[in-house]
Amino acid sequence: MINVKEKNIKELEVLCQEIREKILKVVSKNGGHLSSTLGATELIVAMHKVFDIEKDPFIFDVSHQSYAHKLLTMRWEKFDTLRQFGGICGYTKPSESEYDYFVAGHSSTSISLGVGAAKAIKLKGEQKARIPVVMIGDGSMTAGMVYEALNELGEIKFPLVIILNDNEMSIAKPIGAVSRMLSSAMASPFYQKFKKHTENFVDNFGDGAHYIAKRMEESLKLITPGMLFEEMGINYIGPVDGHNLSQLIEIMQTAKNLNQPVVIHAQTLKGKGYDIAEGKEEKWHGVGPFDLSNGHSSKKSSAKSATQIYTEALMHLAKNNEKIVGVTAAMPSGTGLSELIEAYPDRFWDVAIAEQHAVTSMAALAKEGFKPFCTIYSTFLQRAYDQVIHDTCLMDLPVVFALDRAGIVGEDGETHQGVFDISFLRAIPNMTLFAPRDEKSFHQALGFAAEYQHPCSLRYPRGSFIETNLPESAPFELAKSQLLRSDNSDILFIGYGNGVGRAYETAELLDFEVNILDLRFVKPLDEEMLLDMATKHKKWFVFSDSSKMGGVGSTILEFLSYAKILDVEVESFEYGDKFITHGNTKLVEESLGLLPQQLALRVKERV
């Protein structure tokens, strides 16, 4: 453990520089989140200086900006293994360290966690010994859950320090030197003590005096961005320089001593300390390995990614159909929607970290006769499950859910693996589920989706589709599969989406022939084809990048049970009932026994 409390300001500034150098060295080699975590370095060092990591809950929103925290809490030597298989996680993880308070990976949960921790501390009578401290980015402030938590916090007023890391100036821009002067004054112990005495004094003069005093205070705060928090009953300090250690330490100490809920609004520079990444460029938020000297990516793939194919296909459809609209939730580049937003700014939107709003707003557009494409990572659609059910499927509205990052996503790990969408969407009435297997079938699938008049979802992987030498894709028809390889073998490989490529790779390693079926639709199933297959082939193997519980294999077993077909054996090569760790995708798949070589051996054993 690095003892921050015993270091003076000069020593802490040197430590911040060492932390940045370590982060840059490791992230340039392993990939990871960069710009925001570099910008948060002084904030985290100040947190460790003022608060007690042995007692106080340190809660990081999303926690992608917590690298400095990891380095300060006994993980300096292990930091080289960041995001590697068997190494430390890119997010906070209590099973990795007792100093990580909560698992985090999705946005806007931190203040709710802080409120819950504050309630527990009060119930346990530990208010004098412990105080929760939350760090949240300005991007996370776009989600509704934050305001649900703030609403209660302003009512109960339990002690809680919220550090708002504003690296985009998206809350408000301070108005020059006067604003900075007032913010410093309002952060001082004198002002806070004076405010308390004034409130007690005014109590003796009734509501009229209260009103006048309140208006006077508000007139001062009009030139600072703290009105929202103050009106909710939460103290506000800021904006302050998020890279000025001495000021941060002083202000955090003041906030800690208030014994009330307080927001510290700190402005930081994304990519601080690495000139190439400094600023607001989205591409430096999360990066793959890169050359530290020039910022150029170290890994270049010639294969076209599924996301690139989606962008091209949707752009083609949008050019020819003005009714096509679309949305993403804070991931315009990651989902490939940035090009459409640029080309058609009146029809495609980034609504920030607000998946629930994204889905419901698209439902209204669908009701008005438009064709919405709701483009979201599989892992993030979980955040809008009620909106999919209540606002889309209940009304049977033709919204298309295009789910990027389906399957194993690699280094981001448990919080980001896209493995549950089939399981949780399949249960919803009116929902149709299908998946492409390659570039041509992706264009065909999107063409089908554009004309389909009911809710539907299609999924596709991070990176590229698995290449095959199978017959060309036929046009998509509702509930129709495509038989790609047929012979007299008793063995049937059923592939779904990218699982078709995995089935093909496995088949190529066998010394006997197998049949290969591209299932295409998991809801509704091609029952006619499956009944025919059941009369010819008695050993079925299912390939899909999805959870086994409620997944493709479960769907097929349910169908066979309903059809009273008892002589077909089914084995699913989907993911087991556990959360999947982080690491290189191939190493993760190997740990799960899902590489083609491993699957081929399992098939041989069964046969």
Q: What is the CATH number of the domain that holds 425?
A: 3.40.50.970
Helix (H, G, I), strand (E, B) or coil at 261: strand
The H or E element containing residue 201 is helix 189-202
Instruction: Give the burial class of 398: count Cβ atoms within 10 A of its Cβ; 0-12 exposed, 13-18 middle, 19 or more buried.
Output: buried
- Predicted confidence at residue 543, as pLDDT, reads 98
Contacts 24+ apart (CB under 8 A), 381-387: 381/355, 381/421, 382/420, 382/424, 383/106, 383/355, 383/356, 384/355, 384/356, 384/358, 384/359, 385/424, 386/356, 387/355, 387/356, 387/359, 387/360, 387/363
What is the rounded distance in angstroms from the CA atom of residue 306 to the CA atom of residue 403? 11
Is residue 443 a known part of a binding site? no
In this structure, are 416 and 267 located in the same domain? no
596 inside domain = yes
Task: Read off the tokens for 359.
Answer: 């889905």
- Predicted confidence at residue 227, as pLDDT, reads 80
In this structure, are 244 and 322 located in the same domain? no
The DSSP secondary-structure symbol of 418 reads B
In this structure, are 454 and 489 located in the same domain? no
Q: Which residues pair with 328 in a beta bridge?
A: 350
Which residues have CB under 8 Å from 218's CB, separation 6+?
Answer: 227, 230
N- to C-terminal Cα separation, the chain:
55
200 inside domain = no
36 inside domain = yes
Helix (H, G, I), strand (E, B) or coil at 288: coil
Is residue 207 a known part of a binding site? no
What is the rounded distance in angstroms from the CA atom of residue 150 to the CA atom of residue 231? 11
The DSSP secondary-structure symbol of 575 reads B
Under 8 Å between Cβ of 476 and 468? no
CA 56 vs. chain centroid, Å, equals 26
Helix (H, G, I), strand (E, B) or coil at 302: coil
The boundaries of the domain holding residue 151 are 11-173+225-287
355 inside domain = yes
Is residue 106 a known part of a binding site? yes
Task: Read off the tokens for 303.
Answer: 């294969």
517 closest CA partner among 562, 471, 455: 471
Under 8 Å between Cβ of 517 and 503? no
Look at the chain and report how many structural domains it folds into: 3
In this structure, are 380 and 330 located in the same domain? yes
C-alpha count within 13 angstroms, C-beta hemisphere, residue 77: 2
527 closest CA partner among 478, 456, 454: 478
* Tokens 């913010």 belong to residue: 183
In this structure, are 155 and 268 located in the same domain? yes
What size, in residues, is the chain? 607
Look at residues 255, 287, 319 and tell me which one is the last residue of a structural domain: 287
12 closest CA partner among 249, 268, 252: 249
In this structure, are 246 and 99 located in the same domain? yes
In this structure, are 95 and 240 located in the same domain? yes
Q: What burial letters (b/e) apply to 235-254, b meaning 16+ CB within 10 Å?
A: bbbbbbbbbebebbbbbbeb
The DSSP secondary-structure symbol of 142 reads G
188 inside domain = no
Task: Read off the tokens for 354.
Answer: 């607000």
Is residue 355 a known part of a binding site? yes
Is residue 338 a known part of a binding site? no
In this structure, are 359 and 404 located in the same domain? yes
C-alpha count within 13 angstroms, C-beta hemisphere, residue 13: 9
Look at residues 432, 461, 490 and tell me which one is the last residue of a structural domain: 461
Which residues have CB under 8 Å from 565's CB, separation 6+?
Answer: 531, 534
In this structure, are 102 and 229 located in the same domain? yes
* Tokens 């089939």 belong to residue: 422
66 inside domain = yes
- Predicted confidence at residue 226, as pLDDT, reads 77
495 inside domain = yes
The β-bridge relationship of strands 482-485 and 515-518 is antiparallel
In this structure, are 532 and 455 located in the same domain? no
Give the domain CATH number at 592: 3.40.50.920
Is residue 140 a known part of a binding site? yes
Is residue 64 a known part of a binding site? yes
In this structure, are 236 and 368 located in the same domain? no
352 closest CA partner among 146, 148, 113: 146
Is residue 139 a known part of a binding site? yes
What is the rounded distance in angstroms from the CA atom of residue 363 to the CA atom of residue 387? 9
The model's pTM is 0.89
- Residues annotated as catalytic are 270, 355, 383
469 inside domain = no
What is the rounded distance in angstroms from the CA atom of residue 163 to the CA atom of residue 252? 9
What is the rounded distance in angstroms from the CA atom of residue 250 to the CA atom of residue 53? 18
What is the rounded distance in angstroms from the CA atom of residue 122 to the CA atom of residue 101? 18
In this structure, are 402 and 514 located in the same domain? no
Which residues have CB under 8 Å from 248's CB, separation 6+?
Answer: 42, 43, 46, 240, 241, 242, 266
Look at residues 413, 430, 461 and tell me which one is the last residue of a structural domain: 461
Could you check whether the bond before residue 289 is cis, i.e. omega within 30 degrees of 0?
Answer: no
In angstroms, the Cα distances linking 408 to 196, 420, 501 are 54, 11, 15
The stretches in the chain having pLDDT less than 70 are 169-225, 280-281, 300-301
